[in-house]
Chains A and B, each alone.
Chain A
Amino acid sequence: MLGLVLLNVSGVSFSEGGPIFFSAKGPGSMHANVIISLAAGLAFGAIAQRSRFCTMGSIRDIILARDFHLMTGVASLLTTAFIGNLILGTFNPGFTGQPVAHSNHLWNFLGMTLAGLAFALAGGCPGRQLILSGEGDADAGVFVMGMITGAAFAHNLSLAGKPDTMAGDVFTLGGPGIYGQAAVITGIIFCLIIGFTMREKLTVK
């Protein structure tokens, strides 16, 4: 029933004319027109469903099967977005001063290591999980629900990385706090345990 559960989520947002909480500032306050967003999302869903587009899958297929099929899609996404940014003048290379990002390399790396491992074990990147949910895969739906819960945890317990901030000339390095770092390590250990223990008995013989 997941398609309908998420339908409910969207329904709620419509019936009340908007969510319960709106960000007055920060990334949450920046958003496109609802209709544009909806149309774009529908287009995304349709295109991605037909093409089986998946970022995690593209890398997995290359490592696992030397199959570059999915990667062509990823590469063309990267290229068009790059060109689009150039045209719109929003291309801004560099490590510092990037929007909603931090330059704490170690934790950028480890954070995505955890995410990549979890995606690989679950069989798809977040986008693909949404698509699978729409196709009727309740397992992917559960993964999505887990992600939303994870997001709630991440912000309630200050686990998420903080963006770099520039206050005048003072540059403050962003990145996760100590608890966030602990959470990443815990997560990696959890995924490793899952990876080691969850084996199909049939393939072992």
Chain B
Amino acid sequence: MKNILSSRIGMIVAGSAIGIIAVLLQAAGNPPNMGICVACFERDIAGALGLHRADVVQYLRPEIPAIVLGSFIISTVMKEYKPRAGSSTLIRFFLGMFAMVGALVFLGCPWRALLRLAGGDLNSLLGLLGLVCGIGIGVVFLNRGYSLGRSHDNRKASG
């Protein structure tokens, strides 16, 4: 099946679309330089569900489940939905935990780092530099054969 959006031009279109939507979301009332921020919004959801008590960051952001659903729907339609699971589950959980701690110390996920830079926040440069540095270390591990194991195809329901 042809996948227009994964071509080079499609990539540019996709990136632009995400950028535009993010800015529009800011204009529509989302926090400044935070049109879409996965880390921030997951944090807000955690707050809304009562998992933490910081009362300034509690809101059940509809964007997060909507992103998952959007991806789910499109991948199902395009026959790319492929349930899989099973490698190093607990390690992934902890990686997620620490990733979040790191992201919240910076106050944003990579998407927001870009949006902050686009909004003129130069502090984000330091964050992006750190991001590049962290990924660089990660790549060293990848080159040395790092892997969390192959994921296995799974039955539909497990996805």
Please list the residues of chain A having a beta carbon within 8 angstroms of any beta carbon in chain B: 1-3, 6-7, 9-10, 12-13, 18-34, 36-53, 55-56, 59-60, 63-64, 69-70, 72-82, 84-85, 88, 90-95, 98-103, 105, 107-123, 125-127, 129-140, 142-156, 159-161, 163, 175-176, 180, 183-184, 186-187, 190-192, 194-196, 198-200, 203-204
**Chain B positions within 8 Å of A159 at CB level:** 101, 104-105
**Chain A positions within 8 Å of B32 at CB level:** 30, 90, 99-100
Q: Specify which of B14, B21, B26, B70 is in contact with A53 (CB 8 Å cutoff).
A: B14
**Chain B positions within 8 Å of A41 at CB level:** 62-67, 69-70
Contacting pair B18 A94 (CB below 8 A)? no
Closest A residue to B32 using CB positions: A99
How far, in angstroms, from A78 to B128 measured CA to CA in the complex? 13
Contacting pair B49 A126 (CB below 8 A)? no
Contacting pair A80 B15 (CB below 8 A)? yes
How far, in angstroms, from A25 to B56 measured CA to CA in the complex? 6
CB contact under 8 A between A73 and B14, given known A112-B130, A125-B109: yes
Q: Specify which of B84, B104, B127 is in contact with A151 (CB 8 Å cutoff).
A: B104
**Chain B positions within 8 Å of A120 at CB level:** 134-135, 137-139, 141-142
A-B contact count (CB 8 A): 627
**Chain A positions within 8 Å of B158 at CB level:** 1, 136, 138
**Chain A positions within 8 Å of B55 at CB level:** 21, 23-26, 28
**Chain B positions within 8 Å of A100 at CB level:** 31-34, 107
Please list the residues of chain B having a beta carbon within 8 angstroms of any beta carbon in chain A: 3-6, 8, 10-36, 38-40, 42-75, 78, 80-89, 91-111, 113-124, 126-149, 151, 154, 156-159
Contacting pair A49 B75 (CB below 8 A)? yes
CB contact under 8 A between A22 and B107, given known A79-B16, A99-B33: no
Q: Specify which of A107, A134, A198, A203 is in contact with B105 (CB 8 Å cutoff).
A: A107
Enumerate 24 A-B pairs (CB-CB under 8 Å) in ascending A order: A1-B158, A7-B69, A21-B47, A21-B58, A28-B56, A40-B63, A42-B73, A48-B14, A90-B32, A108-B105, A109-B133, A112-B129, A118-B98, A118-B99, A119-B99, A119-B138, A122-B96, A127-B109, A135-B82, A142-B89, A148-B42, A148-B46, A155-B54, A155-B57
